[in-house]
Structures are given as C-alpha cells and as structure tokens.
Amino acid sequence: MLRELFLETWRNARARWLRVLLTGSGIAWGLALFICLTAMGQGSRLHYREKMEAIGRKVIYAFPGSVAGRGGSEISTRAVVLENDDPPRLPASPRVESAAAELWSGPRILKANGRTKIVYTYGTVAEAEAIRNYRVGEGRFVSQADVQGRARVVVLGAVVAERLFGRRSALGATVRLDGHPFRVVGVSAKKGEQMVNMGPRDDEQVLLPLTTAQTLFTHQDHINYILFDPRSRDEGAEAMDRVRGILGRHHHFGPGDDQAVDFFNAWEMIRIVEALGLGLQIFLSACGLMTLAAGGVGVMNIMLVAVAERTRELALRKALGARNRDVFVQLLLETVLLTFASGVVGMAAGSAIVVALQWARDRAGESLLISRPVLSPGIVALGFVVLVGTGLVAGLLPARRAARLDPADGLRLE
C-alpha cells in the first residue's frame, strides 16, 4: 500500500513537474536563506564578543585619581599614587580573584636585526597574562622570577616581531631597547583588531618586567594602574567597592570617595555588545523563519490549486472505492515529500553558501567589522525540521478538503 502511494505521488509530480519545480525552488531558497542569515547572525555575535574580550574576559582597570583636602579645597588636593605593594593586597578580598600592576614606560627605540622601530613599552608582572587574556604564541610571558630579579627580558607583540625579524623567529634573539640589551623570551600570538584597547593593541606592545622598567626608565616604584579580575563578572561592582576600600586604608581616603580611584569595567561594554549581537542574531533568524513560513503558505496554496484541478480524478478514485483516509494520506504525502526533497536541496545550498562566505572572509584577512559566518549543524537540522513541519501543517487543509470531496458532486462538476 505504501509503495503504491509513493508511486502515485511520483507520477503526479512528473505530470506537473514545472509547478513542483517552482514550488520546490521557493522552499529550498527559504531554507538556504534561513541557514545563511542564522550563520551570519551567530558569526557576528561571536566575532564581536571575541574582539571585546581581547582586552580581558572580566578585567577591571583601577586608575588613581585625587583626594580633596579639608573642606574640599582644590588648593590642598593631592594625587593618589599607586605603588608596587598595592596589587598584592587586593586578592585578600573575597570578591577579587587576582590583581596585577602595570606601568606605561613610554615609547622607546627598539633595535634588532639591523632595523630600528619606535615601540610602546609596558612594565608588567606574571599575573597580568591571565587577567589581560594575553596570548603567547612562542616562548613564555614575563615570570615572577623575572620581576624579582629585574631581568632584562622582553615579550614582543606579534606585529613588532614581524616588523623587526620578518618571518624569522625572534625567540632568543637579543634586542636593544633605548640602548639597553634585552633577550626575547616570548612573542605574542596575533590577536588582530581589538574593539577596546588601553593604549596600542597587544600586537604592537613590548612587555618587560615591571621592576626592570622602573629601574631603567621611570626610576621610581610608582605604577600607572592596577588591573584585576573579580571572582565572577556579576560581582564586578562589589569588587570595585572592595578595591576602593582596601586602597583607601593605605592611601588615606574614604571608601566612598569616587574621585580617589576610577574604574573601567570591561564586562560592562562586553555586555552591551553581547546584547546587540544577540538582538541581531534573533532578528536575522526571525527573517529566515518568516521566509520559511512564506514557503509553507506557498505550498498550501499550490496544493489547494492541485486539489481543485484534480477534482475529477479524486472523485473517480473515491467512486471506485478509495476511502477518505487513502485520499487524505496521498495528498499529505505529496506535500511532505515535496518539502522534504526541497529541504535537502536547501540544506545543501545554504551550507555551500556559508562555506563560500567563510572562504571569502578568510581570504580577505583580518577585519574588525566583517565577521566570519558560523555554520551550526544544530541550526541546519532545526531549519530542516521546521521546514518539514511547516510543509506538514500546510498540507493538512488541502488533504482534508480532498478527503471530504463528495464523488457525485465532483463528477457532476466536471
């Protein structure tokens, strides 16, 4: 019985091949568009999140401010000066996971491999690697031993290493920073564009031990800012209050003095971009779903027309003994098979388009604005299931109308 139904469906499709082809093309295009839009939305969301998190997944920067004198007089205002001993105090708070000191040691002349470049230098410590989401491609980051021993070692940003050494490895080479010899112990993995920077991109920085930068360049034990990680992103506000309180006890200002320490919480900006990315993904997915729904309406209209054109055929079948269920199943099967076949073509076409877009994006190189589409097998499967389900629902009304056809009325109308 089932085999006869399939054969009958196949014969009907061949007899009306142009209509089937046009209807199937619309359905396939709808699914392909859904896959493409969803892949672009998901890719954009992940892309901008990655570019935002390049500065650190939950990093908070603490910058020193000033404290007003008695009576709020501007004349007696004093600056808050952060020192090397301040960051180690912060993890004593249950809201702070880790903290690190950093020092902006200014632009310096870097010579290596017969080339000279102006580079941006920072004094840092070992804890900054995880907090800053710094990625080492070759070698290692600045270690605690380097800081304690005031070692003359540097970590080069990927772009700095490329400009000085080209395709050669810079690891282990000796460079001269403002005339001082340094050994390269690490080269960063290339991050590319960053949406948020504290100064130049990581790829363009030269990092050296904090104490070495203070000894050779700044000649004091002051630091420019503290960067720290809260225990979780949601605890950022509480962590900032705790940090202000700890620093206030040692620098003599009140825990509620907002002018004494200023904060930059990266997660606040990441959360905004994440919300925008999620909204974009929902919008594009909704556009794709509406396209699928439009395809379902088209299938229903085509099947209603088919029932009207085949009134004599269906009436004759019922007059010869076909049951209402047989006619209902046949029309419904034709709809499901049409959507199923079109869905397979749509999945293949949509996946091929996404792969082509990925290839084009990879060939275009690094870009902050253009994201790489993400092809998710789960989304493809969901689109296919939704399409077949839409076809099934769209075929119910025509199949029901055909099953209720009165043979006598059908033959008389013809």
With beta carbons less than 8 A apart as the criterion, state whether 338 and 9 touch. no
Residue among 241, 223, 282, 248 nearest 101 (CA): 223
- The tally of domains found in the chain comes to 2
Q: Give the domain-ending residue among 225, 259, 293.
A: 259
The conformation of residue 74, written as its DSSP 8-state character, comes to S
58 is a domain residue: no
Residue 160 Cα distances to 116, 196, 366, angstroms:
11, 20, 17
Task: Classify strands 180-188 and 153-156 as parallel, antiparallel or unpaired.
Answer: parallel
Residues 251 and 400 in one domain: no
Residues 222 and 308 in one domain: no
Q: Determine the Cα–Cα distance for residues 253 and 92; give it in Å rounded to an integer.
A: 19
Residues 42 and 74 in one domain: no
Residues 168 and 246 in one domain: yes
Residues 334 and 298 in one domain: yes
Q: Give the domain-ending residue among 224, 259, 294.
A: 259
With beta carbons less than 8 A apart as the criterion, state whether 186 and 139 touch. yes
Tell me which residue range forms the domain holding 311.
2-53+271-413
71 is a domain residue: yes
Q: Determine the Cα–Cα distance for residues 293 and 287; give it in Å rounded to an integer.
A: 10
Contacts of 370 (CB under 8 A, 6+ apart): 361, 364
Residues 88 and 176 in one domain: yes
305 is a domain residue: yes
SS3 317: helix
What's the whole-model pTM score?
A: 0.71
**Model confidence over 165-220: pLDDT tens digits?**
988 899 999 999 999 999 999 999 988 777 777 778 889 999 999 999 999 998 88
The amino acid present at 34, given as its one-letter code, is: F
Residues 143 and 22 in one domain: no
61 is a domain residue: no
**Model confidence over 297-309: pLDDT tens digits?**
766 666 666 655 5
- 272 confidence band (pLDDT: 50, 70, 90): confident
